[in-house]
Amino acid sequence: MTKKSVTKFLKKNYEGWLFNLPLAIGLLLFTAIPVGTSLYYSFFETDGFTYTFVGLDNYIKIFTRDRSIWQVVKNTLAFAMISIPLNLSLSYLLAQLVNQTRKGVKTFRLLYYLPVIIPLVVGGLLWKDLYDPTYGIFNRILELIGLDPFPFFFQASTSMFSIILMNVWGIGGGMILWLAAFKNIPKTMYESANLDGANAFQRFWHITIPLSTPMIFFNVVTSIIGTLQYNGTLTFAPREGRGVDDSLYMYAVKIYWEAFHRGQIGYGSALAWLLLIVCAIITILLFKKSKWVFYGEDI
């Protein structure tokens, strides 16, 4: 490039780049360099001070020598595969219930949304207390009506059930999304379906579901990626977030544990990079396979 064309390029484009400069600097310093460094660390055995090159050994270790990894993967997948569809369908039912113009419905919607507003760490504090084996109110109530105490988080076999139940508490978030999806469906569609004699299930299956697919799709993608990175168990699960017998040990907590507790920076980075690859594959697959998503005429 000659000097002249450089000045010409700058003259034409400097304003855009100037306004964009914060992003360019920020992406470089706080995203690109860390992502690269993370990949670099993953090939070393390191505590951040001394580095020993081990090649792909950290990645091989994940699949062959890590004793807790399969439990962690199993927990994370079970949590995602039960919790996401369960909350999606329950919040649909809830949205249907409050999708009407009766008096006071708005207040009920607000009440249902309250648990979503409560900060994660307060939710953890709260549920840890509710589920406590001796002082928790749930077990006190069970005791009052003459039932045996339920161990909740304090037994491996009931932990997953307990966390899924706890997660249902936040269905108000899904409810809001469903309500918005309903709002975008023209009323005339239901009216003409009624004239044709469609029953409630047919209206649900042939109108509500197809026209809500952008919302369902978005919700599923963000929920899957969110669940893979879920670290909320740190706030309430026994054994510093890992649960009894690792029964609540989730992938993101595993990364935290390896890198920050045990100082295995290299191994933690390898786990994080594996997560990055999985998230990328899921995103690409879902967007490629998203032909069933119906965007209507506006897109």
What does the alpha-carbon distance between residue 50 and residue 41 come to, in Å, rounded to a whole number? Answer: 11
According to the binding rule CB under 8 A, does residue 88 interact with other proteins?
no
Residues within window 139-178 making contact with other proteins, judged by CB under 8 A: 140-141, 143-144, 169, 172-173, 176-177
Residues within window 233-262 making contact with other proteins, judged by CB under 8 A: 234-236, 240, 252, 255-256, 259-260
Cβ-proximal residues to 213 (8 Å cutoff; 6+ apart), any chain: 292, 293, 294
Stretch that binds other proteins, among 50-58, 65-73, 124-132, 188-196 (CB under 8 A): 124-132
> What is the nearest approach in angstroms of other proteins to the Cβ of residue 125?
4
Q: Give the residue with the Cβ less far from other proteins, 25 or 78.
A: 25
Given 31, 157, 199, 202, the residue binding other proteins (CB under 8 A)? 31
Report how far Cα 219 is from the mean position of its chain's Cα atoms. Answer: 9
According to the binding rule CB under 8 A, does residue 6 interact with other proteins?
no
According to the binding rule CB under 8 A, does residue 19 interact with other proteins?
yes
Stretch that binds other proteins, among 62-70, 94-102, 157-165, 194-202 (CB under 8 A): 94-102
According to the binding rule CB under 8 A, does residue 194 interact with other proteins?
no
According to the binding rule CB under 8 A, does residue 95 interact with other proteins?
no
> By three-state DSSP, how is residue 53 classified?
strand
What does the alpha-carbon distance between residue 151 and residue 162 come to, in Å, rounded to a whole number? Answer: 9
Stretch that binds other proteins, among 55-63, 67-75, 188-196, 274-282 (CB under 8 A): 274-282
> What is the nearest approach in angstroms of other proteins to the Cβ of residue 36?
8
Report how far Cα 289 is from the mean position of its chain's Cα atoms. Answer: 20
Alpha helices for the chain (secondary structure H):
3-27, 33-41, 57-64, 69-98, 105-117, 120-130, 137-144, 156-168, 171-183, 187-195, 200-203, 209-211, 213-228, 238-241, 251-256, 265-288
According to the binding rule CB under 8 A, does residue 272 interact with other proteins?
yes
> What is the nearest approach in angstroms of other proteins to the Cβ of residue 154?
10
Tell me which residue of 39, 52, 29 sits closest to 272, measured CA to CA.
39
Strand partners, 52: 45
According to the binding rule CB under 8 A, does residue 7 interact with other proteins?
no
According to the binding rule CB under 8 A, does residue 186 interact with other proteins?
no
Cβ-proximal residues to 130 (8 Å cutoff; 6+ apart), any chain: 136, 137, 138
What does the alpha-carbon distance between residue 215 and residue 88 come to, in Å, rounded to a whole number? Answer: 11
According to the binding rule CB under 8 A, does residue 124 interact with other proteins?
yes
According to the binding rule CB under 8 A, does residue 265 interact with other proteins?
yes
